[in-house]
Amino acid sequence: MLAIGLMSGTSLDGVDTALCEIKGQGLDTDIRLLDFMTYEIDPDLKEEIRCVIRNEEPITDLITSLNFRIGKLFSHAVKEILHKNGLSGKDLAFIASHGQTIYHIPKDTDRLVRSTLQIGEPAVIAYDHGVDVISNFRTMDMAAGGEGAPLVPLSEFILYGEKEKTIALQNIGGIGNVTVMPKGQKEEDVFAFDTGPGNMVIDEAMKVLYGRSYDKGGEVALSGQVDEKVLDSLLTHPYLAMNLPKSTGREDFGELYTREILRNWNCLKKEDLIATLTLFTARTIADSYRKFIMEKFVLDKVIVGGGGAHNKALIQYLKELLPEVEVLTQDEIGLSSDAKEAIAFVILGNQTYHRAYGNILGATGAREQVILGNITPNPTSFRRKDV
């Protein structure tokens, strides 16, 4: 079957769009990436999304409108990759759309219940392309007592199984998350969690200090000096001390958090702040490995994917912090770092298509394995009956 996976992460880099060929399901899944592209988000739309995420004032009407605008954005991304490959929606078995996370509450609070919201109306995509759309992957896991994140571990278990070694698959998008596959690799032994900030804090600081969307190749970080006092202060963030299972997002490490850092430490050189924030991300990853992984297992290999895999400073810091571990990027093993999450949602969509479970209990903390996602059917596939 042909299928498309859509993913827009917390960093708002664009809509990652993966066209894949897939067959089978579960451990018998065979998937091949045919094409990948990142569809740009219009700056005005990006600012409206940030306005909602900042949650500074009642904006119910804007959220309602954005749900359809983001649905159309995702539909345009599908249209472009289909056109590029000479295909139409009729050639697809399904589209798997993660949507755009607006807010994620992994644990109950005094005022709020555990919940999550991803928008990007699937009906718009289904109508535009005449194809079934599978979306809203996180909610069923949360209904089953999980945190709804991280969700990629099942896809990673399917793709990267290597029974002779203990492997950590580290994604560095806006947020960092890791899937751990212990030696022997039984599914029930796999666990995962969010390590903390990925590119999110670095990107926001680059936007404020340099007017750039990210630190390309880690060039700015490599030109600066780390301030240990600032780093020690950052490492006191309460999320980093939490036990598993745990997940996080823009609510903890977003724009407001980053701008407070920049106000508090505006005496530092710009490049030194970027270097410090980059090492901060690397330390949250390495420290969580030593606390949650390396106390139980001999960690043999780390494979880094996501946009952070292109940040040379970040990879250098990780190698220095984990000298006893082989640290590689997905590109170094012949796979696309950028396409990783979009491919993961094709795999999860395929599980839903086959009515098979999509969550791993050791990752989300759910009570049981469940089928993930809502299916919005091709609206023109009905069969007419005489009235």
Average pLDDT over residues 104-112: 90
How far apart are alpha carbons 251 and 54 in whole angstroms?
8
Is 9 within any annotated ligand binding site?
yes
Question: Do 166 and 298 touch, CB atoms closer than 8 A?
Answer: yes
Is 5 within any annotated ligand binding site?
no
Instruction: Delineate the domains of the chain, giving CATH numbers in brackets.
Output: 2-137 (3.30.420.40), 153-333 (3.30.420.40)
Is 108 within any annotated ligand binding site?
no
Is 273 within any annotated ligand binding site?
no
**Amino acid 53: pLDDT:** 80
> How many residues does this entry show for the chain?
387
Q: How do residues 319-334 score in pLDDT, each as one tens digit? A: 999 999 999 999 998 8
Is 14 within any annotated ligand binding site?
yes
Phi-psi region for residue 373, left (φ > 0), alpha (ψ -120 to 50) or beta? left
Q: How do residues 245-291 score in pLDDT, each as one tens digit? A: 899 988 899 989 999 999 999 999 999 999 999 999 999 999 999 99
Question: Do 342 and 33 touch, CB atoms closer than 8 A?
Answer: no
Q: With cut-offs at 50, 70 and 90, classify the pLDDT of residue 386.
A: low
Q: With cut-offs at 50, 70 and 90, classify the pLDDT of residue 385.
A: low
Question: Do 103 and 251 touch, CB atoms closer than 8 A?
Answer: yes
**Amino acid 162: pLDDT:** 67
Q: Which among 134, 118, 169 has a CA at the least distance from the CA of 1? A: 134
Chain mean position to CA 267: 33
Task: Give, in degrees to the nearest 5, the angle at Cα 205 between 261 and 60.
Answer: 85
Q: With cut-offs at 50, 70 and 90, classify the pLDDT of residue 9.
A: confident
| Coil, strand or helix at 169 | strand
How far apart are alpha carbons 184 and 166 in whole angstroms?
8
Is 10 within any annotated ligand binding site?
yes
Q: Is pLDDT at 13 greater than 90 in this prediction?
A: no
End-to-end CA distance of the chain: 35
| Residue 104 vs residues 36, 60, 100, 108, 330: alpha-carbon distances, Å | 27, 17, 11, 11, 27
